[in-house]
A = this chain, B = another copy of it.
Amino acid sequence: MSNIYGQNIKISIFGQSHSPAIGVTIDGLPAGFAIDTNELGTFLQRRMPGQGKHTTERREADEPEFLSGLVDGVTCGAPLTAVIRNTDTRPSDYDRLWDIPRPSHADYTAYIKYGETRDVRGGGPFSGRLTAPLCVAGGIFLQLLKREGINIAAHIVQIGGIADSEQMPAAIEEARQAGDSLGGIIECAAVGVPAGIGEPMFDGIENRLASVIFGIPAVKGIEFGNGFAAAGLRGSENNDAFFMSGGSVKTRTNNHGGILGGITSGMPITFRVAFKPTPSISMEQDSVSLSKKENVKLTITGRHDPCIVPRAVPCVEAAAAVAIYDVLLA
Protein backbone atom coordinates (compact mmCIF):
# COMPACT_ATOMS: atom_id res chain seq x y z
CA MET A 1 0.00 0.00 0.00
CA SER A 2 2.89 2.23 0.80
CA ASN A 3 3.48 3.27 -2.78
CA ILE A 4 -0.10 4.25 -3.56
CA TYR A 5 -1.43 7.73 -2.88
CA GLY A 6 -4.72 9.46 -3.39
CA GLN A 7 -8.41 9.43 -2.68
CA ASN A 8 -10.01 10.69 -5.85
CA ILE A 9 -7.10 9.89 -8.09
CA LYS A 10 -4.57 7.19 -7.26
CA ILE A 11 -0.92 7.15 -8.18
CA SER A 12 0.88 3.85 -7.73
CA ILE A 13 4.67 4.01 -7.95
CA PHE A 14 6.83 0.97 -8.50
CA GLY A 15 10.45 0.03 -9.04
CA GLN A 16 13.80 -0.12 -7.37
CA SER A 17 17.06 1.63 -8.15
CA HIS A 18 18.33 -1.42 -10.07
CA SER A 19 15.14 -3.24 -11.13
CA PRO A 20 14.53 -3.49 -14.88
CA ALA A 21 12.30 -0.43 -14.74
CA ILE A 22 10.59 2.10 -12.50
CA GLY A 23 7.23 3.63 -13.20
CA VAL A 24 3.85 4.90 -12.15
CA THR A 25 0.23 4.09 -12.79
CA ILE A 26 -2.24 6.97 -12.55
CA ASP A 27 -5.87 5.98 -12.03
CA GLY A 28 -8.49 8.68 -12.35
CA LEU A 29 -7.19 11.00 -15.04
CA PRO A 30 -9.97 12.69 -16.98
CA ALA A 31 -10.48 11.43 -20.53
CA GLY A 32 -9.63 13.76 -23.39
CA PHE A 33 -6.51 15.44 -22.05
CA ALA A 34 -3.62 15.80 -24.49
CA ILE A 35 -0.41 15.49 -22.49
CA ASP A 36 2.24 17.93 -23.64
CA THR A 37 5.19 15.56 -23.71
CA ASN A 38 7.69 18.32 -24.49
CA GLU A 39 6.61 20.24 -21.44
CA LEU A 40 6.72 17.03 -19.41
CA GLY A 41 10.20 16.28 -20.68
CA THR A 42 11.40 19.75 -19.71
CA PHE A 43 9.92 19.26 -16.27
CA LEU A 44 11.55 15.86 -15.78
CA GLN A 45 14.85 17.32 -16.89
CA ARG A 46 14.89 19.57 -13.84
CA ARG A 47 15.37 16.61 -11.48
CA MET A 48 18.08 15.03 -13.63
CA PRO A 49 21.65 14.94 -12.31
CA GLY A 50 24.31 17.09 -13.87
CA GLN A 51 22.01 19.77 -15.19
CA GLY A 52 23.61 22.10 -17.65
CA LYS A 53 26.45 19.71 -18.37
CA HIS A 54 25.30 16.31 -19.59
CA THR A 55 21.65 17.14 -19.79
CA THR A 56 20.82 15.83 -23.23
CA GLU A 57 22.22 12.30 -23.12
CA ARG A 58 20.76 11.65 -19.64
CA ARG A 59 17.37 12.96 -20.59
CA GLU A 60 17.00 10.32 -23.24
CA ALA A 61 17.60 7.68 -20.61
CA ASP A 62 14.78 8.93 -18.38
CA GLU A 63 12.17 9.44 -21.05
CA PRO A 64 8.99 7.69 -19.96
CA GLU A 65 7.31 5.11 -22.16
CA PHE A 66 3.52 5.19 -21.91
CA LEU A 67 2.18 1.64 -21.73
CA SER A 68 -1.49 2.43 -21.30
CA GLY A 69 -4.07 5.12 -20.80
CA LEU A 70 -3.43 7.05 -23.99
CA VAL A 71 -4.76 6.94 -27.51
CA ASP A 72 -2.70 9.08 -29.86
CA GLY A 73 -1.25 10.99 -26.90
CA VAL A 74 -4.66 11.81 -25.43
CA THR A 75 -5.97 10.29 -22.19
CA CYS A 76 -8.81 7.84 -22.75
CA GLY A 77 -10.04 7.39 -19.16
CA ALA A 78 -8.18 4.14 -18.51
CA PRO A 79 -5.30 4.06 -16.02
CA LEU A 80 -2.15 5.58 -17.45
CA THR A 81 1.08 3.69 -16.88
CA ALA A 82 4.46 5.17 -17.68
CA VAL A 83 7.74 3.31 -17.23
CA ILE A 84 11.35 4.38 -17.29
CA ARG A 85 13.93 1.71 -17.94
CA ASN A 86 16.87 1.44 -15.59
CA THR A 87 19.62 1.25 -18.14
CA ASP A 88 22.48 0.86 -15.71
CA THR A 89 21.55 -2.23 -13.73
CA ARG A 90 24.77 -4.20 -13.94
CA PRO A 91 25.52 -6.16 -10.80
CA SER A 92 27.71 -3.74 -8.92
CA ASP A 93 29.50 -4.68 -5.79
CA TYR A 94 26.90 -4.29 -3.09
CA ASP A 95 28.27 -7.02 -0.84
CA ARG A 96 29.55 -4.59 1.67
CA LEU A 97 26.28 -2.61 1.81
CA TRP A 98 24.44 -5.87 2.20
CA ASP A 99 26.10 -6.43 5.54
CA ILE A 100 26.98 -2.93 6.72
CA PRO A 101 24.13 -0.41 6.82
CA ARG A 102 25.03 3.14 5.81
CA PRO A 103 24.31 5.59 8.66
CA SER A 104 21.06 7.55 8.22
CA HIS A 105 20.12 5.58 5.11
CA ALA A 106 17.24 3.09 5.12
CA ASP A 107 19.63 0.12 4.82
CA TYR A 108 19.17 -1.00 8.40
CA THR A 109 15.42 -0.47 8.63
CA ALA A 110 14.96 -2.28 5.29
CA TYR A 111 16.97 -5.19 6.69
CA ILE A 112 14.71 -5.40 9.73
CA LYS A 113 11.53 -5.08 7.70
CA TYR A 114 12.28 -7.19 4.63
CA GLY A 115 15.08 -9.43 5.83
CA GLU A 116 17.76 -11.11 3.76
CA THR A 117 15.87 -10.80 0.51
CA ARG A 118 15.57 -7.03 0.51
CA ASP A 119 16.93 -5.19 -2.52
CA VAL A 120 20.11 -3.43 -1.37
CA ARG A 121 21.31 -2.40 -4.82
CA GLY A 122 21.48 1.38 -4.88
CA GLY A 123 19.02 1.75 -2.05
CA GLY A 124 16.43 -0.48 -3.71
CA PRO A 125 12.91 0.95 -3.33
CA PHE A 126 14.19 3.73 -1.02
CA SER A 127 16.29 5.27 -3.76
CA GLY A 128 15.78 8.89 -4.74
CA ARG A 129 15.39 7.47 -8.23
CA LEU A 130 11.78 6.69 -7.32
CA THR A 131 11.08 10.42 -7.48
CA ALA A 132 11.31 10.15 -11.28
CA PRO A 133 7.90 8.42 -11.63
CA LEU A 134 6.55 10.80 -8.97
CA CYS A 135 7.62 13.64 -11.27
CA VAL A 136 5.99 11.96 -14.28
CA ALA A 137 2.69 11.90 -12.40
CA GLY A 138 3.20 15.34 -10.92
CA GLY A 139 4.21 16.77 -14.28
CA ILE A 140 0.93 15.61 -15.80
CA PHE A 141 -1.10 17.00 -12.89
CA LEU A 142 0.74 20.31 -13.15
CA GLN A 143 -0.48 20.56 -16.74
CA LEU A 144 -4.03 19.71 -15.70
CA LEU A 145 -3.95 22.24 -12.88
CA LYS A 146 -2.58 24.95 -15.11
CA ARG A 147 -5.61 24.46 -17.32
CA GLU A 148 -7.71 25.26 -14.24
CA GLY A 149 -5.71 28.41 -13.58
CA ILE A 150 -3.66 26.87 -10.77
CA ASN A 151 0.09 27.30 -10.84
CA ILE A 152 2.56 25.65 -8.48
CA ALA A 153 6.16 26.75 -8.13
CA ALA A 154 8.89 25.91 -5.65
CA HIS A 155 12.29 27.41 -4.97
CA ILE A 156 15.22 26.93 -2.60
CA VAL A 157 15.22 29.23 0.43
CA GLN A 158 18.24 27.77 2.17
CA ILE A 159 21.06 25.31 1.58
CA GLY A 160 23.27 24.36 4.49
CA GLY A 161 22.07 27.38 6.40
CA ILE A 162 22.88 29.75 3.52
CA ALA A 163 19.96 31.81 2.21
CA ASP A 164 21.81 33.69 -0.53
CA SER A 165 21.29 31.84 -3.75
CA GLU A 166 24.50 33.08 -5.24
CA GLN A 167 26.56 31.57 -2.42
CA MET A 168 24.80 28.20 -2.54
CA PRO A 169 26.80 26.64 -5.43
CA ALA A 170 30.07 27.43 -3.70
CA ALA A 171 28.85 25.93 -0.45
CA ILE A 172 27.83 22.73 -2.26
CA GLU A 173 31.16 22.55 -4.06
CA GLU A 174 32.99 23.08 -0.77
CA ALA A 175 31.00 20.26 0.86
CA ARG A 176 31.73 17.99 -2.09
CA GLN A 177 35.45 18.56 -1.79
CA ALA A 178 35.27 17.88 1.93
CA GLY A 179 33.51 14.60 1.23
CA ASP A 180 30.53 15.95 3.13
CA SER A 181 26.96 16.90 2.25
CA LEU A 182 24.36 19.63 2.81
CA GLY A 183 20.61 19.81 3.38
CA GLY A 184 18.26 22.67 2.74
CA ILE A 185 14.78 24.12 2.72
CA ILE A 186 12.44 24.40 -0.25
CA GLU A 187 9.45 26.72 -0.31
CA CYS A 188 6.45 26.05 -2.48
CA ALA A 189 3.39 28.09 -3.41
CA ALA A 190 0.21 27.10 -5.19
CA VAL A 191 -1.57 30.10 -6.68
CA GLY A 192 -5.10 30.05 -8.03
CA VAL A 193 -6.60 27.31 -5.88
CA PRO A 194 -10.19 28.43 -5.29
CA ALA A 195 -11.48 29.01 -1.76
CA GLY A 196 -13.46 26.23 -0.13
CA ILE A 197 -11.34 23.24 -1.19
CA GLY A 198 -10.32 20.68 1.44
CA GLU A 199 -11.89 19.22 4.53
CA PRO A 200 -11.71 19.71 8.26
CA MET A 201 -9.73 17.43 10.52
CA PHE A 202 -7.91 14.48 8.88
CA ASP A 203 -8.38 15.45 5.26
CA GLY A 204 -7.32 19.05 5.47
CA ILE A 205 -5.00 20.46 2.84
CA GLU A 206 -2.11 20.29 5.31
CA ASN A 207 -2.72 16.62 6.08
CA ARG A 208 -2.99 15.69 2.42
CA LEU A 209 0.03 17.66 1.31
CA ALA A 210 2.13 16.31 4.18
CA SER A 211 1.14 12.75 3.22
CA VAL A 212 2.73 13.12 -0.19
CA ILE A 213 5.62 15.41 0.67
CA PHE A 214 7.00 13.00 3.30
CA GLY A 215 7.09 10.45 0.49
CA ILE A 216 10.10 12.30 -0.93
CA PRO A 217 13.30 10.80 0.52
CA ALA A 218 15.22 12.98 3.03
CA VAL A 219 12.25 15.18 4.00
CA LYS A 220 12.17 15.72 7.77
CA GLY A 221 9.73 18.58 8.24
CA ILE A 222 6.92 20.59 6.72
CA GLU A 223 5.30 23.84 7.77
CA PHE A 224 2.46 25.91 6.34
CA GLY A 225 2.22 29.70 6.21
CA ASN A 226 4.20 31.08 9.14
CA GLY A 227 4.69 27.53 10.40
CA PHE A 228 7.10 27.16 13.30
CA ALA A 229 7.64 30.91 13.39
CA ALA A 230 3.94 31.34 14.25
CA ALA A 231 4.62 29.58 17.54
CA GLY A 232 6.62 32.60 18.63
CA LEU A 233 4.12 35.23 17.53
CA ARG A 234 1.08 36.75 19.20
CA GLY A 235 -2.39 36.36 17.80
CA SER A 236 -2.45 40.05 16.97
CA GLU A 237 0.71 39.54 14.89
CA ASN A 238 -0.21 36.23 13.25
CA ASN A 239 -3.89 36.84 12.47
CA ASP A 240 -4.67 37.76 8.88
CA ALA A 241 -7.23 40.55 8.55
CA PHE A 242 -9.98 40.08 5.97
CA PHE A 243 -10.88 42.80 3.53
CA MET A 244 -12.96 43.22 0.39
CA SER A 245 -11.04 43.39 -2.86
CA GLY A 246 -13.05 43.88 -6.01
CA GLY A 247 -16.03 42.00 -4.66
CA SER A 248 -14.11 39.09 -3.24
CA VAL A 249 -12.76 38.44 0.24
CA LYS A 250 -8.99 38.45 0.72
CA THR A 251 -6.56 38.69 3.61
CA ARG A 252 -4.06 41.52 3.97
CA THR A 253 -1.31 39.12 5.01
CA ASN A 254 -0.96 35.39 4.34
CA ASN A 255 0.43 34.06 7.61
CA HIS A 256 -2.10 31.25 7.36
CA GLY A 257 -0.56 30.00 4.11
CA GLY A 258 -3.89 29.92 2.34
CA ILE A 259 -5.43 27.32 4.64
CA LEU A 260 -7.88 27.82 7.53
CA GLY A 261 -9.44 24.81 9.22
CA GLY A 262 -7.93 22.56 6.58
CA ILE A 263 -9.78 24.41 3.83
CA THR A 264 -8.42 26.83 1.25
CA SER A 265 -9.08 30.54 1.73
CA GLY A 266 -8.32 31.49 -1.85
CA MET A 267 -4.99 33.03 -0.86
CA PRO A 268 -1.85 31.26 -2.14
CA ILE A 269 -1.11 27.96 -0.41
CA THR A 270 2.42 28.26 0.94
CA PHE A 271 4.60 25.72 2.67
CA ARG A 272 8.23 24.94 3.36
CA VAL A 273 9.92 21.56 3.36
CA ALA A 274 13.10 20.64 5.28
CA PHE A 275 15.57 18.25 3.64
CA LYS A 276 18.30 16.63 5.69
CA PRO A 277 21.82 16.51 4.25
CA THR A 278 22.45 13.52 1.94
CA PRO A 279 23.50 10.68 4.23
CA SER A 280 26.03 9.36 1.68
CA ILE A 281 29.33 11.02 2.55
CA SER A 282 32.89 9.98 1.77
CA MET A 283 34.18 10.27 5.32
CA GLU A 284 34.71 7.15 7.35
CA GLN A 285 31.71 6.43 9.55
CA ASP A 286 30.85 4.08 12.40
CA SER A 287 28.49 1.26 11.57
CA VAL A 288 27.93 -2.41 12.34
CA SER A 289 28.21 -5.75 10.62
CA LEU A 290 24.73 -7.23 10.61
CA SER A 291 26.09 -10.76 10.18
CA LYS A 292 28.90 -10.59 12.73
CA LYS A 293 27.03 -8.34 15.15
CA GLU A 294 30.10 -6.19 15.72
CA ASN A 295 31.09 -2.59 15.25
CA VAL A 296 32.91 -1.77 12.01
CA LYS A 297 34.13 1.25 10.10
CA LEU A 298 32.43 2.10 6.82
CA THR A 299 33.74 4.22 3.98
CA ILE A 300 31.24 4.78 1.19
CA THR A 301 32.98 4.96 -2.17
CA GLY A 302 31.77 6.26 -5.53
CA ARG A 303 30.30 9.56 -6.62
CA HIS A 304 27.65 11.03 -4.36
CA ASP A 305 25.42 13.99 -4.78
CA PRO A 306 26.60 16.36 -2.01
CA CYS A 307 23.22 18.11 -1.97
CA ILE A 308 20.01 16.79 -3.47
CA VAL A 309 18.05 19.95 -2.70
CA PRO A 310 18.32 21.53 -6.19
CA ARG A 311 17.03 18.35 -7.82
CA ALA A 312 14.28 18.08 -5.20
CA VAL A 313 12.61 21.34 -6.27
CA PRO A 314 10.56 19.76 -9.09
CA CYS A 315 9.80 16.80 -6.78
CA VAL A 316 8.15 19.16 -4.30
CA GLU A 317 6.15 20.75 -7.12
CA ALA A 318 5.15 17.31 -8.38
CA ALA A 319 4.08 16.12 -4.94
CA ALA A 320 2.08 19.30 -4.40
CA ALA A 321 0.38 18.90 -7.76
CA VAL A 322 -0.65 15.33 -6.96
CA ALA A 323 -2.09 16.30 -3.58
CA ILE A 324 -3.87 19.43 -4.76
CA TYR A 325 -5.38 17.81 -7.84
CA ASP A 326 -6.63 14.95 -5.68
CA VAL A 327 -8.26 17.32 -3.20
CA LEU A 328 -9.77 19.46 -5.96
CA LEU A 329 -11.81 16.48 -7.15
CA ALA A 330 -13.34 15.79 -3.71
A-to-B contact residues, CB < 8 Å: 1-5, 7-10, 12-16, 19-23, 25, 27-28, 31-32, 65-71, 74-81, 83, 101, 103-106, 108-110, 112-119, 121, 124-126, 130, 158, 160-161, 175, 180-185, 195-204, 206-207, 210-212, 214-215, 217, 219-228, 230-244, 247, 249, 251-252, 255-257, 259-266, 272, 274-281, 283, 285-288, 290, 293-295, 330
- Please name all residues of chain B whose beta carbon is closer than 8 Å to the beta carbon of A290 when the two chains form the complex: 249
- Shortest C-beta distance, A66 to chain B (Å), equals 7
A116-B25 Cα distance, complex, nearest whole Å: 23
A234-B23 Cα distance, complex, nearest whole Å: 32
Q: Is B109 in contact with A261, judged by CB distance below 8 angstroms?
A: yes
Please judge, given known A-B contacts A199-B1, A249-B288, whether A215 and B204 are in contact too, CB under 8 Å. yes
- Please name all residues of chain B whose beta carbon is closer than 8 Å to the beta carbon of A202 when the two chains form the complex: 2-5, 211-212, 214-215
User: Of residues A78, A105, A281, which shows the largest number of chain B Cβ atoms within 10 Å of its Cβ?
Assistant: A78
Which secondary structure dominates where chain A touches chain B?
Answer: mixed
A247-B172 Cα distance, complex, nearest whole Å: 38
- Please name all residues of chain B whose beta carbon is closer than 8 Å to the beta carbon of A25 when the two chains form the complex: 12, 14, 25
30 residue pairs bridging A and B, Cβ less than 8 Å apart = A1-B27, A12-B79, A14-B81, A16-B76, A20-B65, A21-B67, A104-B239, A108-B249, A109-B265, A112-B266, A158-B232, A175-B234, A180-B234, A180-B235, A181-B234, A181-B235, A182-B235, A183-B231, A201-B215, A204-B215, A206-B220, A210-B210, A210-B211, A220-B223, A220-B227, A235-B280, A238-B277, A239-B285, A242-B286, A244-B293
Whose C-beta in chain B lies nearest to the C-beta of A278? B235
- Please name all residues of chain B whose beta carbon is closer than 8 Å to the beta carbon of A198 when the two chains form the complex: 109, 113
Q: Is A274 in contact with B108, judged by CB distance below 8 angstroms?
A: no
- Please name all residues of chain B whose beta carbon is closer than 8 Å to the beta carbon of A210 when the two chains form the complex: 207, 210-211, 214, 222
